[in-house]
């Protein structure tokens, strides 16, 4: 039986995408060869890369606006330093909303001065700082749109007199935004787009080439752009599956359509969390993430019962991150409303037992 997969990442992917991907592993495009044993320079794979790049820009509404889409190695974690390597000359601003932004700050400090414009560390990142001042003279302002671990999500992005750079690893393609407000977006594939192994970077070409330092080729966005994201062998399987997932999303109606479904899922779960006395939400209500819902049992003695019921219902991946504890339900694009319904049923059964 296929489980209801609430895993935070690597995460659930659409069943039809997994089906197609498994076929391509055995025989890609009827070539009599596997997707993973053909040249990345072959016409068949180049078409995959081009399509993946085009779909990313199309879904985000960023075609013909000077942006390039790249599929790079090293995960979102490498982007923490690549962003600074390529863009930080003197001073950059970072909004610290949790573990991932903390890590991004640590790396960026190797390249210049970092101003933490706001932080929610005082409450173990259960909210998004607001009303903070963005100083002048920043090379860029870095944000993390969705905090995978703590279950908070930026709903309103700041206006700033500088480039906005955003780590969208865990909510890319999940909701409508004016993506043109960002000059650089990056996202590790394994949260909402594909298997681990590739990272989508969407960058406005005009912001590059301004720092005075020399940049090693592999870490230079301009080099990757000049080689159409094929400077070295790309993660062919991850790029292919990401392309299939984007295609699936486009056929579904794109971001406007998935946003409606994601809102329904989040509403269903959060209303259960709020109404059910057995559970307490972790993140502050106005900042709750539609992707990762964090919550706790009000009585820890009920843990064994709850975990047993989850197991019986075929629910996977609900344990909270070790830095928060409790539970976390990740409701990425491919998770169905039905799966959330199954979880909510288990939660209401807990209320009857509790
Ligand atoms: C998971 C995650 C990362 C780290 O991604 P890797 O691809 O494992 O390096 C960075 N940022 C956010 C918001 C994440 O959720």
Q: Which pair of structure tokens corresponds to residue 201?
A: 């970077």
Largest CA distance in the chain: 64
Q: Which residues are catalytic?
A: 100, 167, 191
pLDDT of residue 288: 98
* pLDDT by 10-residue block (mean), the chain, 354 residues: 94 97 98 98 98 98 98 98 98 98 98 98 97 96 98 96 97 98 98 97 98 98 98 98 98 98 98 98 98 97 97 96 94 98 98 85
Q: C-alpha 162: how far from its chain's center?
A: 23
Domains of the chain, earliest start first:
15-252 (3.40.640.10), 254-353 (3.90.1150.10)
* Burial 230-253, CB ≥16 within 10 A → b, else e: ebeebbbbbbbbbbbbbbbbeeee
Q: Which pair of structure tokens corresponds to residue 123?
A: 């409450």
To test the pocket of ligand 1, the residue of 73, 74, 77 to mutate (highest count of ligand atoms within 8 Å of its CB) is 77
Q: Judge whether 190 is annotated as a binding position.
A: yes
Matching residue, tokens 């700033």: 160
CA of 9 to the centre of ligand 1 (A): 9
Give dist(CA 284, CA 147) in Å, integer.
13
Give dist(CA 80, CA 74) in Å, integer.
10
CA of 107 to the centre of ligand 1 (A): 14
Q: Whose CA is nearest to atom 10 of ligand 1?
A: 76
CA of 174 to the centre of ligand 1 (A): 16
Query: CA separation (Å) from 346 to 66, 309, 311, 332, 353?
Result: 48, 7, 10, 20, 11
Give dist(CA 98, CA 242) in Å, integer.
26
Q: Judge whether 92 is annotated as a binding position.
A: no
* Cα separation of the two ends of the chain: 29
Pocket of ligand 1 (CB under 6 A): 9, 75-77, 100, 144, 148, 167, 169-170, 188, 191
Q: Judge whether 322 is annotated as a binding position.
A: no
Q: Whose CA is nearest to atom 8 of ligand 1?
A: 75
Q: Judge whether 167 is annotated as a binding position.
A: yes
Cα Rg for the chain, rounded, in angstroms? 21
pLDDT of residue 323: 87
Give the helix ranges, DSSP H, for the chain: 15-26, 43-60, 75-87, 99-108, 189-192, 221-226, 236-252, 254-275, 303-312, 337-353
Residue 151 zone, left/alpha/beta (φ > 0; ψ -120 to 50; rest): left
pLDDT of residue 56: 98
The β-bridge relationship of strands 152-153 and 146-147 is antiparallel
CA of 305 to the centre of ligand 1 (A): 32
Q: Looking at beta carbons, which pairs linking 205-208 to residues 24 or more positions away fall under 8 Å? A: 205/66, 205/67, 205/68, 206/66, 207/87, 207/140, 207/163, 207/183, 208/86, 208/87
In terms of Cα–Cα distance, which of 104, 96, 69 is closest to 199?
A: 69
Matching residue, tokens 């594909």: 194
Q: Is the peptide bond before 67 cis (omega within 30 degrees of 0)?
A: no
């Amino acid at each position: 039986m296929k489980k209801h997969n609430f895993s935070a990442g690597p995460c659930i992917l659409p069943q039809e995408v997994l089906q197609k991907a498994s076929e391509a592993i055995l025989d890609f495009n009827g070539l009599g060869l596997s997707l993973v044993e053909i040249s990345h320079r072959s016409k068949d794979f180049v078409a995959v890369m081009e399509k993946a790049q085009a779909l990313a820009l199309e879904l985000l509404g960023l075609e013909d606006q000077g942006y390039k889409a790249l599929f790079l190695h090293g995960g979102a974690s490498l982007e923490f330093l690549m962003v600074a390597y390529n863009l930080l000359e003197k001073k950059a601003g970072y909004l610290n909303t949790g573990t991932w932004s903390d890590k991004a700050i640590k790396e960026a400090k190797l390249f210049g001065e970092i101003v933490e414009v706001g932080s929610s560390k005082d409450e173990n990142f259960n909210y998004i700082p607001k009303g903070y001042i963005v100083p002048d003279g920043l090379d860029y302002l870095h944000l993390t749109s969705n905090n995978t671990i703590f279950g908070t999500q930026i709903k309103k992005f700041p206006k700033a007199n500088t480039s906005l750079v955003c780590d969208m690893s865990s909510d890319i393609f999940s909701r409508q935004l004016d993506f043109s407000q960002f000059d650089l977006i990056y996202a590790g594939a394994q949260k909402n787009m594909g298997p681990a192994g590739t990272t989508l970077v969407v960058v406005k070409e005009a912001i590059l080439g301004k720092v005075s330092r020399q940049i090693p080729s592999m870490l230079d966005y301009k080099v990757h752009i000049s080689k159409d994201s094929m400077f070295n062998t790309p993660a062919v399987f991850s790029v292919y599956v990401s392309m299939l997932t984007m295609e699936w999303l486009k056929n579904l109606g794109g971001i406007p359509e998935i946003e409606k479904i994601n809102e329904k899922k989040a509403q269903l779960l959060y209303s259960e969390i709020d109404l059910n006395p057995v559970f307490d939400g972790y993140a502050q209500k106005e900042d709750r993430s539609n992707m990762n819902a964090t919550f706790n049992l009000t009585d820890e003695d009920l843990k064994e019962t709850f975990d047993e019921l989850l197991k019986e219902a075929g629910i996977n991946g609900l344990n909270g991150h070790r830095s928060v504890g409790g539970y976390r339900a990740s409701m990425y694009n491919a998770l169905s409303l039905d799966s959330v319904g199954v979880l909510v049923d288990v939660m209401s059964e807990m209320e009857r037992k509790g």
